[in-house]
Chains A and B, each alone.
Chain A
Amino acid sequence: MNFIESFRQNFIEADRWKYLADGLGTTLLITLLAVTIGMLLGFFVAVIRATYLRTGRFRIADWFCRLYLTVIRGTPVVVQLLIIYFVIFASVPISKTFVAVIAFGINSGAYVAEIVRGGIMAIDTGQLEAGRSLGLNYSRTMIYIILPQALKNVLPALANEAIVLLKETSVAGYIAIADLTKGGDIIRSQTFSAFLPLLAVAVIYLVMVVVLTKLVGLLEGRLAANDRR
Chain B
Amino acid sequence: MIVVKNLTKDFKGTPVLKGIDEHIQKGEKVVIIGPSGSGKSTFLRCLNLMETPTGGEIYFDGEKISGLPYYENHSFAFRRFRRQHPSAHDINQLRMRMGMVFQHFNLFPHLTIQNNITLAPVKLKLMSEEEANLKARELLERVGLPDKADAYPSQLSGGQKQRVAIARALAMNPEVMLFDEPTSALDPEMVGEVLQLMKQLADDGMTMVVVTHEMGFAKEVASRVLFMADGVIVEQNTPDEFFAHPNSPRLQEFLSKVL
Contact = CB atoms under 8 A, between A and B. Distances in A.
A135 B98 CA distance: 9
A135 B123 CA distance: 10
B200 interface: no
B210 to A, nearest CB: 15
Contact of A124 (B74, B106, B154): B106
A140 B124 CA distance: 9
Contact of B95 (A134, A140, A148, A152): A134
Nearest to B108: A145
Chain B interface size range = 20 to 34
B50 A149 contact: no
Contacts of B137: none
A21 to B, nearest CB: 42
A224 interface: no
B157 interface: no
Interface of A is mostly: helix
Interface residues of A, number: 23
Interface string B91-112: 0111110111010101111100
Interface in B75-104: 92-96, 98-100, 102, 104
Contacts of B124: 134-136
A135 B109 contact: no
Interface of B: 48, 50, 72-74, 92-96, 98-100, 102, 104, 106-110, 119-120, 123-124, 152, 154-155, 165, 168-169, 172
Interface of A: 57, 124, 126-127, 129-140, 144-145, 148-149, 152, 227, 229
Given A124-B106, A129-B50, A133-B102, 17 more contacts: A57-B72, A126-B102, A127-B106, A129-B106, A130-B106, A130-B165, A133-B50, A133-B99, A134-B172, A135-B94, A135-B120, A135-B172, A137-B92, A139-B74, A149-B108, A149-B109, A229-B152
